[in-house]
Structure 1
Amino acid sequence: MSLAKDESTDDHGGHHLPAVEDWPRGFGEASWWPFIAALGVGGIYIGAALFILGNGANNIVSPMIGPAVLVGSTALFLGGLYGWLYHAFVVNFWEHGTEGHGSGTLRFAMLLFLGTEVATFGAGFVYYFFIRSGPWVAERPELLSPLIFINTAILIASSFTLHFAHVSLLRDNRKWFIRLLGVTLLLGIIFIGGQGLEYYEFLVHENFSLETGIFGSAFYGLTGLHGLHVSLGAILLAILFFRSLYGQYSAQKHTSVSTVSMYWHFVDIVWVFLVVVIYVGAEVNL
């Protein structure tokens, strides 16, 4: 029994699953946190579907099931995300960095992740193009408001500030790196607030919601999915910002900055495409 226990300890680096002690030094170890977060995301989609099924003309399920699944799945997602980010980026950072794994490997992993994101958003856009190709009788408010143009400019500007923040770090100018990173985080938060304001105007003053025909479901599905990604990006930027205040980045150690920058530029590009397709395209009569 003792020998079996010792062998098990050696195989797993002295840690039980989910591995929480030495990530990312134990990069090859299995961790349940990403799976927990993924289950939460899947549950959010299921909850949204149940919400629609429970609030239609003929309710297929109870109206309370959808919101309950959404709340539970959101809590599961946030819990998994917290565990993932905390144990990946915070615990024992000073002792266990990412140098042994190669920045190229981690950037490639981010590229693979962004590939799955392209597929996720692509499915939503395919749905929109499908309904757009039919008779266009969408009930909707005026979408092209000044708020949209301002919000778009803010998000595009945040890509530039993040790019030059990274450039400043590579030039060992930590003061401007921290300043521009803080500006990027602030612009991201303002964008999220602007999208929340837009939702408020549509829901309260325009009576435009998920139940407003198939266009309503497509609009809130795609913009809400993007808003969720921007919110996640803002969390990552906040982690970068607070770590930068403690001097945890340099011209030689900036893998986290590179990978988060890739993610942030991706969500910016998706937003521009979304504005062209949803906001501008909805006003075009084919």
Structure 2
Amino acid sequence: MAQEAQEEYQKYYVPEQSVWPIVGAVALFLIAVGAANLTVEMTKDKSGIGGYVLLAGLITLIVMIVGWFKNQIDESMSGLYSAQLGRSYRQGMLWFIFSEVMFFAAFFGALFYARTIAVPWLGGASNNAMTNEVLWPTFEAMWPLVQTPDGTTTTPMGWYGLPLINTVILLVSSVTLHFAHTGLEDDKRKQLTLMLGLTILLGCIFLGLQGYEYVHAYRDLGLTLQSGVYGNTFFLLTGFHGLHVTLGTIILIVLFFRVVKGHFTPKEHFAFQAGAWYWHFVDVVWVMLFFFVYIL
């Protein structure tokens, strides 16, 4: 047993140096700078380079994803990976999802703080009458907060209509992806291809409807980034979730083409499993978001 363990350990694959981590870091830097500048430009209603920097970052990120995915796929199909490396990939994916949980927990925490602490305090709750009189004498503690100190008013986004439809779409997409996974485990390639393709289609429909929802919010409801803490938390939570759905859809598209090429087997398909984990996580986040942002 000890000799077998030693042989297994010696098979651990150490990849060559790669340029993709630094390319990814540059992409994320450009995205952060571009998004921040674009947000400021939108709130001040002026044009600038924020949109171009953001676009450059997104293009760089896509190039990085394509290149890195290609290297990983080539290594996997060449038989370079071992069981030990497979365990490392599983641990890495679990830690990545945990970091995403903490990421969204921070934004949900900000929403909780605004709703249950900051807004009641401004309204004079918890012996903060002086705070109310000094900072905002006419303030009425309510949520959603539909009026800003400068008098800007907005209409809150209801939970029915597009948000409810998108919730159903994502829930159904988790079901179709589950059946795609079971099709892979049972070596039913037709079921796998059909259900995975349907999941991708549902993800694209979700993104299209969310884009239309943003247009409706800006054009018809007056719900913008200038709508105070309600508008800010609404677009931060839904926007970052939409970004994760976009990334998840890209991952599923890559997996779809790999399925078509016959890359996965019932026993060896962790890449597919990791993509499914990520998609189910994104769906769970949306259910929480739908409940706390749209309904409550």
Per the normalisation by structure 2, the TM-score is: 0.76
Number of residue-to-residue matches in the alignment: 253
Q: What is the letter of the counterpart of residue 277 of structure 2?
A: M
Partner deviation per Cα, 1:92-131 (whole Å, 9 max, x = no partner) = 6632464455433222111011111112112222222222
| Offset of residue 213 of structure 1 | 1.6
Alignment of structure 1 residues 1-286 onto 2, 5 Å: 27-54=14-41, 56=43, 64-89=48-73, 91=74, 94-96=77-79, 98-99=81-82, 101-132=84-115, 133-135=117-119, 136=142, 137-138=145-146, 139-281=154-296
Cα distance in 1 for residues equivalent to 2:25 and 2:110: 22
Q: What is the letter of the counterpart of residue 190 of structure 1?
A: I
Q: What is the letter of the counterpart of residue 34 of structure 1?
A: P
Whether the 8 Å contact between 1:140 and 1:216 is mirrored in structure 2 is: no
Whether the 8 Å contact between 2:13 and 2:82 is mirrored in structure 1 is: no
User: Which sections of structure 2, spanning at least 5 residues, go unmatched?
Assistant: 1-11, 120-141, 147-153
Cα distance change, pair 183–114 in 1 and its aligned pair in 2 (3 A):
same
| Offset of residue 63 of structure 1 | 5.2
The secondary structure found in structure 2 opposite 1:134 is helix
Whether the 8 Å contact between 1:192 and 1:230 is mirrored in structure 2 is: yes
Partner deviation per Cα, 1:39-96 (whole Å, 9 max, x = no partner) = 4234433433334444557x9xx8525334323332332332232223223x466324
Please report the RMSD computed on the Cα atoms of aligned residues, expressed in angstroms: 2.4
Partner deviation per Cα, 1:195-238 (whole Å, 9 max, x = no partner) = 11111211222232212222212111111111111111111111
Cα distance in 1 for residues equivalent to 2:265 and 2:79: 16
Whether the 8 Å contact between 1:34 and 1:81 is mirrored in structure 2 is: no
Per the normalisation by structure 1, the TM-score is: 0.79
The secondary structure found in structure 2 opposite 1:262 is helix
Cα distance change, pair 169–124 in 1 and its aligned pair in 2 (3 A):
same
Cα distance change, pair 265–38 in 1 and its aligned pair in 2 (3 A):
farther
The secondary structure found in structure 2 opposite 1:64 is coil
Cα distance change, pair 54–247 in 1 and its aligned pair in 2 (3 A):
closer
Q: What is the letter of the counterpart of residue 229 of structure 1?
A: H
Q: What is the letter of the counterpart of residue 86 of structure 1?
A: K
Cα distance change, pair 198–233 in 1 and its aligned pair in 2 (3 A):
same
Cα distance change, pair 42–140 in 1 and its aligned pair in 2 (3 A):
farther
Of all paired residues, the percent bearing the same amino acid is 36
Report the structure number with the largest CA radius of gyration: 2
Cα distance change, pair 44–140 in 1 and its aligned pair in 2 (3 A):
farther
User: Which sections of structure 1, spanning at least 5 residues, go unmatched?
Assistant: 1-24, 282-286
Cα distance in 2 for residues equivalent to 1:273 and 1:164: 23
Whether the 8 Å contact between 1:203 and 1:209 is mirrored in structure 2 is: yes
Cα distance change, pair 188–92 in 1 and its aligned pair in 2 (3 A):
same
